[in-house]
Amino acid sequence: MISITDVEKLDLRIGTVVDAVVPEWSHWVIKLTVDFGEEIGMKTIFTGMLGFYKPEEFVGQQFPFVTNLEPKRIGPKGEDGTYNFSEGMLMAASVKLPEKDGEHDEKPVLMPLQTKVPNGTRIR
């Protein structure tokens, strides 16, 4: 059990994916560029859903995200000598597969919105 204070620490927002690509070094992550509106701006968020979704399935869609996670380094150092960082997390349901699909026993299920809302809208 957690307290409401713990829940209040999460900054849950709606963002629109404006770009989605598979980095050349990746076999499992998709790099999302997400617009969270004026207050937060654009963020880079990596998602390990490549085995289930194509990058183009994300573009133009709105999804719920955790926007205040500590950045996490993803992948190797780039040609410019810098690392990639994920600046949040895409929220998705996790459904157990009836039979193990290769290395996966669960599938992420995206939660697109029924109605478009302003980017950066808080989830309560």
Per residue in 39-93, pLDDT tens? 999 999 999 999 899 999 999 999 999 999 999 999 998 888 899 999 999 999 9
Say yes or no: domain 11-110 is CATH 2.40.50.140: yes
Q: Where are the domains of the chain?
A: 11-110
Closest CA to 36 of 25, 28, 24, 44: 44
What's the Cα-to-Cα distance from 41 to each of 15, 16, 50, 97, 120, rounded to whole Å?
A: 10, 11, 25, 36, 8
Instruction: Give percent of the chain above pLDDT 90.
Output: 82
As a whole number, mean pLDDT of residues 111-117 equals: 94
Is residue 106 predicted with pLDDT exceeding 90?
Answer: no
- Retrieve residue 35's tokens: 């617009």
What's the Cα-to-Cα distance from 120 to each of 42, 58, 86, rounded to whole Å?
A: 10, 17, 17
pLDDT band at 101; cut points 50, 70, 90: low
Is residue 30 predicted with pLDDT exceeding 80?
Answer: yes
Is residue 9 predicted with pLDDT exceeding 70?
Answer: yes
